Structure 1
């Protein structure tokens, strides 16, 4: 079957109501008839979207194996509606839950990159609370930036950045990946405190595979080691890539990510 028949163009799902409503863009690949594997769910990082290299490779894996695949853009990202500066972990988590509720997969493997790893862990917690919803079969976390607002941003704020947060409600930071600066809002940082996961045992109820570059300038590999300590009840594999950066988008990195996703989806 051709890719054109397997996957639709962008679909849009309205999340929220009144002045909080935003149109969330999705790309949903249906599993082929008779497929027994789990649906792959992609969660992008901060300022990333569902058209990035890793997301597309995950969709190609789903096509090759006949699996379902769910990709979407958070509000303020990619082709979704809403303002980026309105974004918080709670808001983007709400959108992830809404997309899953719309697509209704039975079993899923979440693949989360950077901030998407944090949202993936929060999603795992929320799914465990609910009696209805998909069964989480596995987590693949790529340079997971769990609690990055409290653990990686707040302790390193300069006096100028603190003053900007207080006076303007945000501060800007030069981005290594875009000519446009990163913008971190007070709302994002305050909401991050309410969504912390590295405060106790994180029970996902599924196998977890973490892939972390040791030359990552944004999320140090010590942060991945810290996350492992908070997953004592899970079957956890940690792959440290000695020469890997934050993006982990080289062919050899993609190969590792795809292999991890395929192994968990087939269980």
Structure 2
């Protein structure tokens, strides 16, 4: 399967790796999670679907991730948001379905807000949010920090935690936490002006399904669908999960047509 031509953009001095395949609109833009890259199972599955159905598909690695430049520890929601907006504006045309996984769903919601502010809200045709983790630093992590971790953040500017998905520990910086507060979306109504479909595993150890339901409270009710997968985990990468993802995508594209 052709992964799409590798290209690079420079955003705030950092080279951002982008893969894009042309095709019909609405196109699909993949937004990965914290420490994931654009060659993962879900992104590759979407790439295959886009190729088979002649839809444009665009994906990139945030700074400090995958094939992009920059140091991971320097990353913040604001930086990754700016990079994602640059990719959308420079590499895509017409309306797009944003598919955001975990932290990528937070980025997607912030992109909608920023595009609407700039008068570009029509660029977003729909949102497909997989195990969405908006405001995860404030809502999910900060309440769980021990006194020792809080001291470590203040004294060293970072903490490390064991990762279930990588031999390398997860790194969380004070800058990430501080910037996360400035990018909160669960503080009022998030008027997306487009259909939203959320897929959430009820056996997700990282993002409780109640967090997805909390997100729904902040979205307009008439255009939101939530699919709870009873035995689904955080990755949502099993064959049955991927089939649900593609079915949800097809439904959103039909509505956007």
Residues in 2 aligned to 1:206 and 1:133: alpha-carbon distance in whole angstroms: 9
Q: Is 1:228 matched with 2:216?
A: yes
Tell whether 2:196 aligns with 1:199: no
State the shift of 1:104 in Å: 3.4
Which residue does 1:29 correspond to in 2?
A: 21
Indicate if the aligned counterparts of 1:108 and 1:265 stay in contact, CA closer than 8 A. Answer: no
**Structure 1 unmatched runs, 5+:** none
RMSD across aligned C-alpha pairs, in angstroms? 1.3
* Contact 1:147/1:198 (<8 A) preserved: yes
Using the TM superposition, give the Cα deviation of residue 128 of structure 1 relative to its aligned residue in structure 2, in angstroms: 1.1
4+ residue segments displaced more than 6 Å: none
What is the number of equivalent residue pairs in this alignment? 255
Instruction: Call closer, same or farther: CA 1:131–1:96 in 2, change over 3 Å.
Output: same
Match status 1:64 vs 2:60? no
TM-score, normalised relative to structure 2 = 0.96
Partner residue, 2:7: 11
Match of 1:166 among 136, 150, 154: 154
1:242 to 226, 230, 249: 230
What residue ranges of structure 2 are gaps of 5+ in the alignment?
A: none
Query: Could you tell me whether the CA contact under 8 Å between 2:58 and 2:92 is conserved in 1?
Result: no
Once the two structures are superposed, what CA deviation does each residue of 1:175-216 show, in whole Å capped at 9, x if it has no partner? 111111100000000000000000000011100000000000
> What is the CA–CA distance in structure 2 between the aligned matches of 1:45 and 1:22, rounded to whole Å?
19
Aligned to 1:180: 168
Give the drift of 1:131: 2.3
Describe the superposition over 1:211-233 as per-residue Cα deviations: whole angstroms up to 9, x where unpaired. 00000010000000100000025
Cα offsets for 1:89-114 (capped at 9, x unmatched): 00000000111111132010000000
Deviations 1:207-263 (Å, cap 9, x if unpaired)? 000000000010000000100000025500000000000000000000001111122
Task: Select the residue among 81, 96, 104 that pairs with 1:108.
Answer: 96
Q: Work out the CA distance in 1 between the residues paired with 2:65 and 2:187.
A: 29
SS state of the match for residue 68, structure 1? strand
